[in-house]
Amino acid sequence: MPDDLADALDDTALDEEIRAETAEALALTGRDVGTPILHFRPPDGTAFFGPVISRLPSEAAAGELWDHVIALASFPGFAELKRSLRERPQLASFGVNPDAVGVQEDWHGGSRRTKK
């Protein structure tokens, strides 16, 4: 790791700003979420956690996915879509074929559950 990145580990200059922005995001979504938090049409638009995806979509699929995310965000009563069963990341940099169906894992509270 480059030294200037390692040095940033102990740099507290931005801590208060990060805490304030995190508090602002959580005030829009509630506290029982993770990241990313997306805020649509600020300052009055809705915000929510997600989407969380396990692979890089094609350009066409990314546009379609984003259109659906916007549609959900635009519906005033939308609150949540969620499932704990997740595919392991399907990224070529991990040595995985991104077009293959990935290994499924069950997650709970941000942690993988091991299957017995």
Is the pTM higher than 0.75? The answer reads no
Per-residue model confidence (pLDDT) at position 85: 67
Going by C-beta distance under 8 Å and a sequence separation of 6 or more, which residues neighbour residue 110? 34
85/12 Cα distance (integer angstroms):
37
Going by C-beta distance under 8 Å and a sequence separation of 6 or more, which residues neighbour residue 79? 48
| Tens digits of residue pLDDT in 60-106 | 999 999 999 989 888 888 888 877 766 777 777 777 776 777 777 77
Reported as a pLDDT band with limits 50, 70 and 90, residue 12 is very high
